[in-house]
Amino acid sequence: MGDNLQGPVFLGGIIIKVLFESQPLLGRRTGIGRYVERLTASLQENQDIDLFYWFNQQFNVKLLQMLDVPSTKIRNSRYFYKVIRRLMKPNFLHDLPVDLGESFDIFHGGSCITYQTTKAKNALTIHDLAFLQFPEVASEQTDRHHSLWLPYSIKKADHIIAVSQHTKEDIIRYYDVPDEKISVIYLAADDQIKKEDRPLKEEVQAKYNLPEKYALYVGTIEPRKNIPFMLEGYALAKQKYKFPHKLVIAGAKGWKYEKVYETFEKYRLHNDVIFTGYVEDMDLPVLYENADVFLFPSRYEGFGIPVLEAMQCGVAVIASNVSSLPEIVGEAGRLVSLEKPEEFIDSIGELLTNEAKRREYEEAGRRQARMFSWKKAASETVTVYRSLL
C-alpha cells in the first residue's frame, strides 16, 4: 500500500482517504446527482472511509447550506475549472497531472469524468453510453461533452464501475476495455421512497393536482424516454379498455420535448394527462404510492432508478425490455417490446382493469426491490477502492 495510507485502523483495515467528484450535487438532483448524493451518504457511514467532496468551483454560504456537508469536508478548484472551459482539450488536460493539494488515496469520478492525479488512484463510474448507442436522442451538449472527455477518462482510470451489466458490455464494446478492469455495482432506490402513511399527503396531492386514479411516469421529458410512444399507448389503451385512470407525467422538460406535446395534441389528451413539472424528492413517495401502474417505455437506460423506486413503493411496473431494464425488473414487472406497441397497450389495459394481476406485480416488485440497497453499493465500492491500493 502507498505511504499515504498511514493512520488508525477500523474494521476492514487502514482508513482510505477518498476525494469524490461531486459537481452533480449542485442544482436539481436528477439521475447522476442522486447517485452521488446517496452513495456518498452511505460511504460516510463506513468507518474505513474518510470522505471528502470535490467541486470545480468556488463556494459561497448558500451552496454550503444547500449541500448539508461540513465545510471541512469540501475541496474545490475554481481555477482548474476555468482552465478546462477555456482549453476544452482533454488530451492535454488528462496528460497534465492534477495536484489535489493534499494526499488522497482515491479520486472517484462519479459522473463519467476523472483526471490524472499526482498521487491518488482513479476510480470512474460510468452510468450509460446512450450518446453512442442513440446519438439522435442525446443533446448536442451531452454528445460533445462525453465525446471529448470519456475516452480520456477511461484511459486514465485505474478501475471502472458500471451501474449495470448492460453498461459494462457497452463499455467493452465501444472502448475495448478489459473485462477485469470493470466492476458492476448496482444502484438502489432511496430508503425514504417507500409506501407509508404521510402526514402531508393531501398537500402533495393538491400541489401537483393528482387525480384519484392514475398511471405514472417519472423522469425528464426528453427523446430517450420515449414519451410520445407512452402517450399514444395510453390513449389507445384508454379507448380500448375504458379505464378511468389519468396519466401523470412527473418530470422537468429536457431537450427536444416538442414532439411530446404534438402527440398530446394529436390524441386530445387535455383532460387525461397531467404534466407536473419537476417534482421535489420529498414529494416523490406520494406520487408513487398513489399510482396504480408505473409506465417506463424508455429506449435506453444505464440503470433506471425510477423503475426501482416504483417497485419499492409497491407499484406494478410496465417497462421496455431494452438495455438494463430486464436486469432491474427481472420477472417482477411486465416487460414489453417497443417493436410491438400492442404489447404496451394491452399491458396497460390489463393491469389497470385486473386488480388481482396488478397485486401480483406489486408484491413481486417489492421483493425485487429489496435486492438493491445503497449500503450494498457502498460496500462493493469500498472493495473496489481496496483493490487499487
Q: What is the pLDDT of residues 264-319, one digit of tens each?
A: 999 999 999 999 999 988 899 999 999 999 999 999 999 999 999 999 999 999 99
Task: Quote the mean pLDDT of the chain.
Answer: 87
- Is 83 among the domain residues? yes
| Res 216 pLDDT > 90 | yes
pLDDT at 7: 41
* Across 60-69, 211-220, 316-325, 375-384, least confident range: 60-69
Residue with grid cell 398537500, as numbered in its chain: 203
| Res 159 pLDDT > 90 | yes
**Same-domain check for residues 179 and 207:** no
- Is 167 among the domain residues? yes
pLDDT at 165: 98
Residues in contact with 221: Cβ distance below 8 Å, sequence separation at least 6, in sequence order: 227, 249, 251, 252, 253, 254, 257, 260, 275
pLDDT at 113: 79
- Is 99 among the domain residues? yes
Please give the average per-residue pLDDT across 68-97, as a whole number.
Answer: 59
Give 57's pLDDT tier (boundaries 50, 70, 90): low
- Is 196 among the domain residues? no
Extract the C-alpha cell encoding 39.
452513495
Give 327's pLDDT tier (boundaries 50, 70, 90): very high
**Same-domain check for residues 79 and 12:** yes
Contact 325, 318 (CB under 8 A): no
| Res 4 pLDDT > 70 | no
**Same-domain check for residues 89 and 46:** yes
**Same-domain check for residues 92 and 21:** yes
List, for residues 173-215, the tens digit of each pLDDT value. 999 999 999 999 999 999 888 766 666 788 999 999 999 999 9
- Is 135 among the domain residues? yes
pLDDT at 143: 57
Specify which of 49-63, 88-102, 121-135, 171-185 reaches the highest per-range mean pLDDT. Answer: 171-185
pLDDT at 199: 62
**Same-domain check for residues 229 and 331:** yes
Please give the average per-residue pLDDT across 317-336, as a whole number.
Answer: 98
What is the CA angle 24-26-27, rounded to 5?
110
- Is 129 among the domain residues? yes
| Res 9 pLDDT > 60 | no
Q: What percentage of the chain reaches a pLDDT higher than 70?
A: 82
Of residues 138 and 158, more confidently modeled: 158
Contact 303, 127 (CB under 8 A): yes
**Same-domain check for residues 244 and 180:** no
Contact 258, 281 (CB under 8 A): no
pLDDT at 133: 82
Question: How many CB atoms neighbour CB 339 within 10 A?
Answer: 7
* Across 85-99, 170-184, 219-233, 373-387, least confident range: 85-99
Give 62's pLDDT tier (boundaries 50, 70, 90): low
| Res 33 pLDDT > 90 | no
**Same-domain check for residues 34 and 101:** yes
Q: Are strands 121-126 and 273-277 parallel, antiparallel or unpaired?
A: unpaired
| Domain around 144 | 3-187+373-387
CA-nearest of 369, 350, 31, 360 to 195 is 369
Give 11's pLDDT tier (boundaries 50, 70, 90): very low
| Res 79 pLDDT > 60 | no
Contact 267, 232 (CB under 8 A): yes
**Same-domain check for residues 7 and 128:** yes
- Is 195 among the domain residues? no
**Same-domain check for residues 321 and 364:** yes
pLDDT at 265: 95
Question: Phi first, then psi: what are they for 341, rounded to 5°?
Answer: -55, -30
- Total domains, the chain: 2
**Same-domain check for residues 258 and 319:** yes
Question: Checking phi first, is residue 373 left (phi over 0); if not, alpha (psi -120 to 50) or beta?
Answer: beta
Please give the average per-residue pLDDT across 128-151, as a whole number.
Answer: 74
pLDDT at 69: 74
- Is 192 among the domain residues? no
**Same-domain check for residues 177 and 314:** no
Q: Identify the CATH number of the domain in which residue 249 sits.
A: 3.40.50.2000
Dihedral of the CA atoms 189, 321, 367, 309 (nearest 10)?
A: 20
Q: What percentage of the chain reaches a pLDDT higher than 90?
A: 64
**Same-domain check for residues 98 and 158:** yes
